[in-house]
Each structure stands twice: as C-alpha cells, then as structure tokens.
Structure 1
C-alpha cells in the first residue's frame, strides 16, 4: 500500500492534498483495495458547499456502495469528470488520476484534525 508523505488523511480513509487555499480530495489506496473494483462514482457539481464530515456523493464497487465523506469543508471548484467514463481510475491511480473533487477550503484549521502519512499508516495497521 502507498501512503504519500505530502498528503493528510482521515479515519474514513480519505486523503487531502493542500494547494494554497484549495484542497484536492480522494480515497486512499487502502480504501480502494477494500472496496474492490470501482464501477461508478457520484460526485457533486461545482459550487456545492461541503461541511467537514458531510456526505458528498457515493462510490460503487462490485461488492458494495459507500458514501463519500468530506475530510475538510469548502466549496467544490472542480470534480474529476474522467471518473464518469473511467471510474476504475480510482483503483488504478487513487492519488493522481483517481482524485474526486477539488474544493476552496472554508477553514484551514480543519486540516489540523487530519493524520500524517505515518499516523495513517499506523491507523490502517490497527484496523486490519
């Protein structure tokens, strides 16, 4: 499993890449392995406002459907349109091509509640 150092992580297995006042969100390598083959992803439109821990869509795999939860709050400024035709990008490349949404952060302090890569790796080891 991959745990990129530059990302922040939530206990719900989401990652956050901070880019100034914006953040790109996605599911972790661990989450995509647990879900199995992704068959569809439902994402919010641009302009949708997220509160931290809000459900903002769903991800469907061959064996389950899971809600997507915002690790931080903000307003959606972009979503990964490629996932409509190629949801398997989440499995193939969860940290780059399989990103979900980009948001304008509403409160950068929320980032302090997330885990570092080392902390997340320890967390995953505990839940396995």
Structure 2
C-alpha cells in the first residue's frame, strides 16, 4: 500500500496536534497538583492551629481547676485551724471525718463513672 504525500502530511499534523494536546493536559495536571498541594498545606496549617488552641484551652482549664482546688483546700484548712484554735476539737474532728467521707466517695464515684464511660466507648466501637 502506497501512502500519498498528502496523507503523510495529514498524519504528521495529527500527531503534532495530539502532542500539543497532551502537553496541555500535562500542564493542566501540574496546575491541579499544585493547587491540591497548596490546599493541603493550608488545611494542615489550620489543623495545627486548631490543635494548638485546643491544647491551650485544656491547659487553662486544668490550671483553673487547680487554682480552685487550692483555694478550697486553703479555706477548709483555715476553718479547721480556727476550730482547733477556739477549742472545738470534737467539731473539727467531725468536720474532718465528713470531708474524708465526702472526698473518698466523690473520688470513687468519679473514677467509676470514668471507667463506665470507657466501657461504653469500647462497646460502641
């Protein structure tokens, strides 16, 4: 089969057009990849910022709870010292017993609830 010069010229032009189209597609894919990369970087930066803010909020919450606990302990100790100083030893002893009972019950209940929550989380997964 003999190819005419016009047919050969047409094949060369078609291949040139296909190569041009492929190079445009490659350039478009490169732009899409760059855009995806920039979006991913921005998303990661936002996630880092959010996690930092969450950690700071948790730190402030822990600090505030510790300040409150220290203040409450100081008030209770001051009250007990006052009772002992005024000669009400029996009442101070009863207050101390009640505090120990309440704190042990509260602590036990807190950790029991925490354990129950973990069991429910494990069962839910």
TM-score relative to the length of structure 2: 0.20
Of Structure 1 and Structure 2, which has the larger fraction of its residues in helix? Answer: 2
Of Structure 1 and Structure 2, which has the larger fraction of its residues in strand? Answer: 1
Structure ranking higher on relative contact order (CA contacts 8 Å, 6+ apart): 1
TM-score relative to the length of structure 1: 0.20
